[in-house]
Amino acid sequence: MQLFICDDFVIQGEKLIIREQPELVRQLRKVLRAAPGYHFWIQRADADLRYEVELEKWTDTQIFSTIIQKIQAPSSDKKLAMAIALPNKQEKLELIVQKLTEIGISDIYFWAAERSVVKTVSPQKFERLQKIVQEALEQSYGRKLPQLRFIENFDEIKNEYTFISFDLGGSKLQLGNSPLGESLLGIIGPEGGLTQRDYDSFGKEVQVLQLGDSVLRMETASIVGAWFLSQQVK
């Protein structure tokens, strides 16, 4: 059953009305070939409540449906985040945010490491990343839309997480160990790796782990590291 992430809907009794969403109307009509009676899921980006609805009718911009059931996501204090040094190509960043969303990362931070060639993300490229994240969440049936943020330094988040850097100089990963904590931040360096200046900029103790013996591309390291964190959180 298709999941849509959409903030612009209202609930009136047992009816759910989606407003001013011509693109969603187009997708239902042209892509999914939906007809009255079609069932789909819908939820707001930052909500824990998901609705199964049955399509009644649509206009060019609105969708009228009946609520069949609603599901509340289980509450959790877990926080999984990744800090990604800006890579040299936008395509790498797009792949990373897509896969991290599918894995279940809740916050994705971008930062300019010492060896980062690209130092910032334009508003247009950032908007594209947000669209990719939304599509990945819909495809993977994730619960919450990850927050994307560009940070100048780590001072604003260093008290929120246990920092874990994935680097060749670290200890080798061992699955099945005791969980590392409830709020974890995985750190991925740019092409060429992290420097001592980067480590100094973190402003706190960092646990350094090695993702095997091979030298991984940063997009590969991001995906493997995120999956590892998802298995370690309490």
Report whether pLDDT(84) > 90: yes
Report residue 230 as tokens.
Answer: 């998802």
On the question of a common fold for 3-72 and 79-232, the answer reads no
225 by Cβ neighbours in 10 Å (0-12 / 13-18 / 19+) ranks as: buried
pTM attached to this predicted model: 0.80
pLDDT band at 65 (very low <50, low <70, confident <90, very high): very high
CATH superfamily of 3-72: Hypothetical PUA domain-like; domain 1 (2.40.240.20)
Distance CA 19, CA 21 (A): 6
**The pLDDT of residue 39:** 95
CATH of domain 79-232: 3.40.1280.10
Q: What is the mean pLDDT of residues 110-117?
A: 89
The DSSP secondary-structure symbol of 140 reads H
pLDDT band at 21 (very low <50, low <70, confident <90, very high): confident
For residues 180 and 233, is the Cβ–Cβ distance under 8 A? yes
The DSSP secondary-structure symbol of 70 reads E
pLDDT band at 109 (very low <50, low <70, confident <90, very high): very high
B/e letters for 79-108, b = 16+ CB within 10 Å, e = fewer, are bbbbbbbbbeeeebbbbbbbbbbbbbbbbb
What is the average pLDDT value for the chain, to the nearest integer? 86
pLDDT band at 94 (very low <50, low <70, confident <90, very high): very high
The CB density around residue 116, as the number of other CB atoms within 10 Å, is 19
**The pLDDT of residue 183:** 84
Interior CA angle at 59 toward 54 and 63, to 5°?
30
Instruction: Give the residue ranges of DSSP H helices in the chain.
Output: 22-26, 90-103, 123-140, 196-202, 218-232
**What digits encode the pLDDT tens for the residues 170-180?**
665 555 555 56
- Structural domain boundaries in the chain: 3-72, 79-232
Q: Which helix (H) or strand (E) holds 15?
A: strand 15-18
pLDDT band at 77 (very low <50, low <70, confident <90, very high): low
Q: What is the mean pLDDT of residues 211-216?
A: 81
The CB density around residue 9, as the number of other CB atoms within 10 Å, is 21
Distance of CA 227 to the CA centre of its chain: 12
Q: Which of 3-17, 144-158, 169-183 is least confident?
A: 169-183
Distance CA 143, CA 45 (A): 8
Q: What is the largest CA-CA distance in the chain?
A: 60
Percent of the chain topping pLDDT 70 = 92
Distance CA 187, CA 99 (A): 16
